[in-house]
Amino acid sequence: MAGLGVKGHQVEVFESDSAENGKRYLERITTNIPGVEIVYADNANGGRTLSLAINHETENVQRAARTDIENVLRSAQTHEEWVKAVEQYGANWNARQEEVRQAKLLSIDIDECILPTPRESRLDGNFARDGERFKALDEAGMTIILNTGGQRRRLRKSSNFSNLWGWS
């Protein structure tokens, strides 16, 4: 299951009148997709149900493309298709953990990635969260380069962001 980017595995047991032995089992598999879990559940007829649980309360999912995630994952009709769909997200990155750990330079495109369109849609809280993460990366020894195809004056619009990062 490592290829799935599994982060945690938990089995819950429930009392159930409908189950032959009076118990039902629920396996919750936390994936590397924030807020997304794979859930296996025993059925009363002895079969198992594979389903998807998405925690919409997860911080990062506030404006995430969760509908797209759901569409992709729910379109899978079989276990194999489901695994393949999940593997689209993060499996390659997970397979290269050591390279991520050794990385020393991070180049990030500004437009859309850090400064969305319209710019006003960017919430101060998100700037703050980026700032916190960039400080953490800086402390981990990474050099961070904001990379834009636009003019240098556009960078000035990110001054609030850069202040949080300690650029002022």
Residues that bind other proteins (CB under 8 A): 32-34, 36, 60-65, 68-69, 88-90, 92-93, 96-97, 99-114, 116, 122, 126, 129-130, 133-134, 136-138, 140-152, 154-155, 165, 167
Taking the complex as a whole, how short is the minimal distance between the CB of residue 139 and other proteins, in angstroms? Answer: 9
* Greatest distance between any 2 Cα atoms in the chain: 69
Taking the complex as a whole, how short is the minimal distance between the CB of residue 22 and other proteins, in angstroms? Answer: 38
DSSP-derived letter for residue 111 is B
Distance CA 53, CA 27 (A): 12
* 14/167 with CB nearer other proteins: 167
| Residues 35/62, Cβ–Cβ less than 8 Å | no
Taking the complex as a whole, how short is the minimal distance between the CB of residue 18 and other proteins, in angstroms? Answer: 35
* 47/156 with CB nearer other proteins: 156
Residue 146 CB neighbours (<10 A): 19
* 74/96 with CB nearer other proteins: 96
Distance CA 145, CA 167 (A): 12
* 13/65 with CB nearer other proteins: 65
| Residues 135/127, Cβ–Cβ less than 8 Å | no
* 68/80 with CB nearer other proteins: 68
Length of the chain: 168
Residue 42 CB neighbours (<10 A): 21
Taking the complex as a whole, how short is the minimal distance between the CB of residue 37 and other proteins, in angstroms? Answer: 13
- Tokens 């949080």: give the residue: 164
Taking the complex as a whole, how short is the minimal distance between the CB of residue 16 and other proteins, in angstroms? Answer: 33
| Residues 39/26, Cβ–Cβ less than 8 Å | yes
